[in-house]
Amino acid sequence: MTLSRRTRTLVRASAAVAARDDEALDAALAEALDSESPEAMEETLLQSYLFVGYPLALGALARWRRMRGGPPPEPREEDWEAWRRRGARVLRAVYGEQHEALRRNVRHLHPEMERWMVTEGYGKVLGREGLSLVERELNVVALLTVLRTPVQLYSHLRGALAVGARAENVEEVLGEACDFLEPPGREEAWKTWKRVMERKERPGPPAGGFRRAHGDGRDDGDQRRS
């Protein structure tokens, strides 16, 4: 095993939130209380709203607040322009040379979604202090694995590697998340990872369906999507 205890606890919590598994979530929260940095769990639960929505994220935070006790942290200052700039930087770090294509294709779906993705998703949330970008991406991998969204999972598997996660770390996170899935979901997740590794080992024009995944029927790009 190569994941630290802290990271394993965080990704287990993320997977449990997505799976709506309160027992597993409580176990991860209790372990976080025994660690040196429970604030990391605050950030992990907070960022989950981007992927599971407010209802599940609020429910997870309520369980955490009851278990941890004490007042919540103070809110941070809002600065949408700073978030926009930070979001653009984080997007480049995660998606590399594909970041402009991603923005263009999401803009094609809806221009507001592209702006929200950059400013809110990557700037306000995933670019926050409190967790490293590697930790945030590994938590996203856990969430998307359980949610069974293979196009987005493909993107963030590659994103985790791009920001510095080791392949063995990613595989352990997939293993943790697959504990919450039935066999078809597990098979889907590992097939997605296999495609990522095949692409990594085979440079050149991508084989996949970035544009096809966005609904225009063409097969001339990458499958990267937020």
Q: What does residue 130 show for φ and ψ, rounded to 5 degrees? A: 115, -30
User: What is the number of helices (H) and of strands (E) in the chain?
Assistant: 12, 0
Among 54, 49, 40, 48, residue whose Cα is nearest residue 10: 40
Provide the pLDDT for residue 34.
85
- The residue-averaged pLDDT of 120-143 equals 97
Provide the pLDDT for residue 185.
98
Query: Model-level pTM?
Result: 0.89
Provide the pLDDT for residue 221.
32
Q: Residue 1: is it exposed, middle or buried by C-beta count within 10 angstroms (0-12/13-18/19+)?
A: exposed
Per-residue pLDDT reduced to its tens digit, 70-85: 899 999 999 999 999 9
Per-residue pLDDT reduced to its tens digit, 33-60: 987 779 999 999 999 999 999 999 999 9
Among 37, 36, 56, residue whose Cα is nearest residue 46: 56
Provide the pLDDT for residue 213.
37
Task: Give domain limits for the chain.
Answer: 5-68
